[in-house]
Structure 1
Amino acid sequence: MAQAVTWLKRLWGSGEHPQPSGPLLSPPKETLFRQEAGGGVTYRIPALLHVPPATFLAFAEKRSSARDEDAEYLVLRRGLRRGQEVEWGPVEELSGLVLPGRRTMNPCPVFEASSGVVFLFCICVERRVTERHQILAGRSAARLCCSTSRDRGRSWSALQDLTDEAIGADLPHWATFAVGPGHGVQLASGRLAVPAYAYYVHWRLCGVPLPCWTRPHSFIFYSDDSGRSWSKGSLLRGMETGECQVAEIGCGDQGTVLYCSARTPCRCRAVALSTDRGLRFGLPARCPALCEPLQGCQGSVVSFDAPDGAENTQHWLLYSHPTDRWHRRDLGIYVNTAPPDEAGWRHPWVLQEGPCGYSDLAACPKGVFGCLFECGATSACEEIAFCLFALSTDGGADAPCHGNGPVLEVLSPRDGNDGETSKEVFMGMTPQEEKRGLVDFN
C-alpha cells in the first residue's frame, strides 16, 4: 500500500472562474465497476455513502448498454476503511429491488444516525419508456421507491413504493421525476433530505400537455420522523433546475441554511438557499464560477466543518464536476472556503484527466473524503472508480494564492488492485468487528 502523497500544490489560485493550469495529474484510483468489452453490460450513475465509523457503500446502475432505457437494477460494493486504504468486497447485485415490469434507476442513499438505518431511494421506471417520451406525453412512468438496511448494507428490505404518500395529487402535473442521483443528507435537526427534480407541466392546450412548457425543477423529499413517513418540499422557481444535491451550512446572521447545487442548461450551476430546511428555497441564482459543459452534467456537493482558525464560517463546501467548458472531461474537485459566497470557490484540482461524467462525494471525519466517479480512456461509461483523499490547510511554502489555502492529498488504493477484491474481506465480519478494525487516519 503506497503512502499518502501530496498531489496538489498550485491549482487552487484565486476565487475567479477556475482555469486549471499546468499538467493534469491523474492520482491513483480503484476501479469498482467496469464495462464489458464491446460496450455490453455497463455501469453508470454512481452514488456513495459513508456509514460511520468506517464503511463505504458504493452504488451504481447495471445496464445492458450505456443507454438510460437499458437500465436493469442497482449494484453495490461495500468498502471498509482501514487507515489510508479502503478494502472493497465483491459486486453485489440488488436484483431483488425491482418492481414488476420496471427498471430501477438513480440510487440515492441517506444514513439515519440515531437508528443506524440506511435508506436507499431510487426510481422504478416502466421498461422501454424514455425520459423524452414521458415529457412528450406529459405522463410520468416513474415510481418513487425505497429500501432500508439495518446492517450497513449487508441485507435490504423489500422495495417500498412511496409515490402516493410523498407525491400524491401532484403526480398528474409531473411529466416525470427522479431522485438525486447521489447521496442524501441528515440535517442537524434530524430531518432526512433526499434531493430530487421533477419535469412540471406548466401549460396544457385542450388537456394536451405542451412539451415546450414542461420544465425541470429541483426540490427535496424529506422525513422528520426518522424515515417512517415522507413528504416533499416546494419546487424551485425562477429558472430550470434539474439533477441536484444539497448540503447544510452555517450562514452567518441567517443561521443554518440548506444549500442546493443544481444542474441547469445555462452553462453554469444554479445555487439556491433554504432557511426552513428545504420546505422552500429562494430563487436560484447562476454560479458562473462553476461551469457546465454544453450538455450539462450532474455534480456532487458536501459540507464539512471548517478547520480551526477559519474566519466567519462554520462550514466549507466540497464540489465535484467536470471542469471542461465544452465536454464532460477532467473531473475537478472544488473547495469553497466562504459558503455560500460564490467568490469563495477556489480553482479546481483535477482528480481525473480525460473523459468523465457523474460523480458522488462522501465526507469522513478529519478532513478525509471519498469520490466515486465515471471515467474512461475514450468514454466516461467505461468504468466507475473510487479515490480517497484528504484536505489539509497547512499549505507551507507552496501554498495557493490566498495564503494558507487548502491542499489535497491522495490516499492511494492498494497497489496492483484490479477492482476484483476477494470476498474474504467481508465474509463473516460483524459491524462491531468493522468498528474494531478502524485505524484512525492522522
Structure 2
Amino acid sequence: MGNTPSKSGSGEEPVKTTLFEKEPSGITYRIPALLYLRHSHTFLAFAEKRSSPSDYNAKILVMRSGTLKDDGSVQWSSSQELSTACLPNHRTMNPCPVYEKNSKTLFLFFICILGNTTEHRQIITGKNKTRLCCVSSSDDGQTWSQVRDLTESVIGETIQKWATFAVGPGHGVQLENGRLIIPTYAYYVPYRCCSFPIPFTVYPRALSVYSEDFGQTWHIGKMLRKKSCECEMAEIIDHEGRSHLYCNARNIGGHRCEALSENSGVHFDKPHIAPELVEPPSGCQGSVIGFPAPEFVPNDDAESKACGTSLLSPDTQTWLLFIHPTNKSSRRDMGVYLNRSPLHSSGWDRPRIIHSGPSGYSDLAYNGDKDQFSCLMECGKESELEQIAFMSFTLNDVMQTGSKKDKKMH
C-alpha cells in the first residue's frame, strides 16, 4: 500500500508536546527513542534519566506510552522508570527498541556501563566496561522481563578488540524477511602495545546486531570499513522486491556517513560521505526511517497541474526520511530531509526545519494508517538539554522544501 501524503501544509513548525523536561534539581533527560505500535495505536517514548547532563551521570531508562486517538491527538501516560533494565553497579544508557511482529514481542536493547567509567577512559585504556543488555515485553511495554546480559553470547571473544561499544541510540528495525536489526557501533582496537591501545588508532565503526529467529538468539555483523559512530538503519525495497539495508552514521568530518548492505546487515559495502547531510564539528546522532513511496504526490509542473499529481520514485518502493540538526557550527535547527532515490548517493532534498534553535538527539517513527511521521527530540530555547519533545507531521509538510538530486551510489 502506498503512502498518501497530506494535501495541505504550512511553513509553520509542528506543535510540540514536552514529554521529559529538565528539573530544577539538575535531573536531565537525554537520548530519546521512539516506537509506534500499529496494532495498538500506541507510541512508546524512551529516554535516559540523568542526575546531570553528563554521560557519566546517566542513571536509568524512563518511558511514557501514548495512545493515538481518532482525532489525531495523543494521550500520554505519566513517566515510569524501567526498574528491570539495569545491572547492579552499572548505569543504563542508549535505549534501542524494536518490535518483533511474529511473536508480538517488544525488545528494548541498551548498554550498561560499570560505575562512572567514561567512554574516553575505555578508549584510552582499551579496557571495555560496557555490557550489551535487553529486556522484553509481551504486552506493549506495560510490563518488562528481567534483564538479559547478552555480552558473552553475542559478542564473545570479539570484545577483546573493542575498547567500548553502544547500540543506537534510537529504534531498531524488523526486515521483511523477519530479521531483527539493532544498529550498533564499537571502538575498534587494531593494535596494542603492552596491552594498551596505540594512541590515535582507536576509532568507532558501525555494525549491526541481528537475529534470524525472532529474537531468541543474536549475532554481530561485520564493521563498516570507515569511521562511523552512532547509527540507525532502514530497509529499502527496490522495484524488483529486493531488500537493501541502509546505514546512516554519525561522523566527525562535517558530513554524515552512509553505507548499504545487500545481505541484511551481515556486512556493508564501501561507505561514502553524504554531502547534503551536514554534521556540527563534533557530530550528533540522527535518525532515519523508511516508508512506502507514494504513487502520486502534489506537483507544480505545468504539465501535471490539470490532475495535480505526478508519478515519482522510479527506483524503489521505499523512500527515506532523516532528521538531524542542520547547522554546520553547532547543534541547532532540527531539520527533516527526504530521499526519493535512496539507492543513489546525493539523493537528499534540502531540509525542512521543524525546530529553530538548540536541537540534539532525535528518533523518528512512521504511522502507516495515517500516513504520518512522529519524532522525539532534544530541544530548547537556550539549550537542547532543556526538554525532550514529541511532534507529528506529514510527508507533504516535508516536501514544501527541497530540490531533487540524483547521482549514482558507488
CA RMSD across the alignment: 1.9
| TM superposition shift of 1:393 | 9.1
Extract unaligned runs of 5+ from structure 1: 10-24, 403-442
**Match of residue 52 from structure 1:** 38
CA displacement, residues 147-186 of structure 1 (integer Å, 9 cap, x when unaligned): 0000011000001000001100101110000000000000
Task: Answer yes or no: is the 8 Å Cα contact 2:321–2:337 preserved in 1.
Answer: yes
CA distance in 1, matches of 2:195, 2:241: 43
**Match of residue 41 from structure 1:** 27
**Match of residue 376 from structure 1:** 380
1:213 match: secondary structure: coil
Task: Answer yes or no: is the 8 Å Cα contact 1:109–1:182 preserved in 2.
Answer: yes
| TM superposition shift of 1:367 | 2.2
1:334-353 equivalences under 5 Å are 334-353=337-356
1:116-135 equivalences under 5 Å are 116-135=104-123
1:234 match: secondary structure: coil
1:146 aligns with 2:134: yes
1:183 match: secondary structure: coil
CA displacement, residues 268-293 of structure 1 (integer Å, 9 cap, x when unaligned): 00110000000010111011110001
| TM superposition shift of 1:96 | 2.9
**Match of residue 166 from structure 1:** 154
Task: Answer yes or no: is the 8 Å Cα contact 1:251–1:339 preserved in 2.
Answer: no
**Match of residue 188 from structure 2:** 200
Moved over 4 A (4+): 4-9, 398-402
Question: Using a 3 Å threshold, how does the CA distance of structure 1 residues 208 and 401 change in structure 2: closer, same or farther?
Answer: closer
CA distance in 1, matches of 2:192, 2:397: 54
1:62 match: secondary structure: strand
Task: Answer yes or no: is the 8 Å Cα contact 1:135–1:211 preserved in 2.
Answer: no
1:178 aligns with 2:166: yes
1:166 match: secondary structure: helix
**Match of residue 93 from structure 1:** 81
CA displacement, residues 208-246 of structure 1 (integer Å, 9 cap, x when unaligned): 212311110000100000100011100111x21000000
| TM superposition shift of 1:5 | 10
CA displacement, residues 398-435 of structure 1 (integer Å, 9 cap, x when unaligned): 88666xxxxxxxxxxxxxxxxxxxxxxxxxxxxxxxxx
Normalised to the residue count of structure 2, the TM-score between the two structures is 0.89
Q: Which amino acid aligns with 1:44?
A: R
1:59 match: secondary structure: strand
- Tell me whether 302-311 or 179-188 shows the greater mean CA deviation: 302-311
1:235 aligns with 2:239: no
Extract unaligned runs of 5+ from structure 2: 1-5, 296-310, 405-410
1:34-433 equivalences under 5 Å are 34-37=21-24, 40-53=26-39, 54-83=41-70, 84-237=72-225, 239-251=226-238, 255-308=242-295, 309-310=311-312, 311-365=314-368, 366-392=370-396
Question: Using a 3 Å threshold, how does the CA distance of structure 1 residues 401 and 231 change in structure 2: closer, same or farther?
Answer: closer
2:268 match: secondary structure: coil
**Match of residue 408 from structure 2:** none
Question: Using a 3 Å threshold, how does the CA distance of structure 1 residues 253 and 393 change in structure 2: closer, same or farther?
Answer: farther
| TM superposition shift of 1:82 | 1.2
How many residue pairs get aligned? The number is 380
Question: Using a 3 Å threshold, how does the CA distance of structure 1 residues 127 and 400 change in structure 2: closer, same or farther?
Answer: closer
1:303 match: secondary structure: strand
CA displacement, residues 349-394 of structure 1 (integer Å, 9 cap, x when unaligned): 1111100100000011042111000001111111000001111399
CA distance in 2, matches of 1:323, 1:6: 24
Normalised to the residue count of structure 1, the TM-score between the two structures is 0.83
What percent of counterpart residues are identical?
A: 47
- Tell me whether 325-334 or 366-375 shows the greater mean CA deviation: 366-375
